[in-house]
Amino acid sequence: MSTLGMPGIPVRESAAIAAAHGCAGLELRVHADEEVHLGLKDAGSVLDQIYEAGLEISALAGYVQVCAPGIAGELRALIDLAARLNAPAIRVFPGGTGEDGRAVDQIAEVLPDLTASGVQLLVETHDSHLTAESVLRLVKPFADPARVAVLWDALHPWRAGEAPARTRALLGEYLGYFQLKDATAGLTPVPPGEGMVPLGECGRLLRSWSGWISLEWERAWHPEIAPVDVPLRAAADWLARWRG
């Protein structure tokens, strides 16, 4: 589960909630408003709290936009934080239209840092690049899914008209992470199974896949929605059905 669903809650408490619901990992939102941020000094304490709960860090969810200019320094800081937290991957956004070449150049600039640290960069299907077809333009030039791959957000490719079967087929070995998300027609988050996203089809397509699946519950942006316990129970039901 992502800590996006528990804005302002300390890591220790977030980890306890995740563990209580049977999660194996915690996706940490990296944000100035949170305990985990780019200026974090005591990464060891954060890591200890997660390990004490019996969890791993599945990824760091950063907010770098790889199509925007001048992001190499911020991106390197995110990679460094991931290395200090033993996080296997970092999430970034595309964040631009018509700047695919710039994104590829900027990712290439930090590729040695990714390789040296063993961290994988995950470009999310989001904002300017909602579909697998579009986001692959940013990752395929590297021909190295172990270092540069895609985070499939269940909502965005589907709302852009790309069916889950096509998303999965296009991503192939570049699928590095899956975010479980459901929403109404107005994009208001709802617990998995209560919205319009075809999560049953996603489940069938992911049965033979062994990567991280993380619940993204956007309570940081929608404070009116239910506490994270509610969608976590629904996520557990979905997982039991499709991965059991």
Question: Tens of pLDDT along the chain (244 residues)?
Answer: 999 999 999 999 999 999 999 999 999 999 999 999 999 999 999 999 999 999 999 999 999 999 999 999 999 999 999 999 999 999 999 999 889 999 999 999 999 999 999 999 999 999 999 999 999 999 999 999 999 999 999 999 999 999 999 999 999 999 999 999 999 988 999 999 999 999 999 999 999 999 999 999 999 999 999 999 999 999 999 999 997 6
Nearest to 178 by CA among 79, 91, 55: 91
Nearest to 54 by CA among 12, 6, 4: 12
pLDDT of residue 97: 86
Pairing of strands 148-153, 175-180: parallel
The per-residue pLDDT for range 15-58, each reduced to its tens digit, is 999 999 999 999 999 999 999 999 999 999 999 999 999 999 99
d(CA 77, CA 113): 10
SS3 91: strand
**How many helices and strands (H and E) does the chain possess?**
9, 9
pLDDT of residue 244: 62
d(CA 131, CA 129): 6
d(CA 189, CA 231): 10
pLDDT of residue 170: 98
pTM of the model as a whole: 0.97
pLDDT of residue 243: 77
DSSP secondary structure code for residue 194 in this structure: S
Residue 214: strand pairing partners: 179
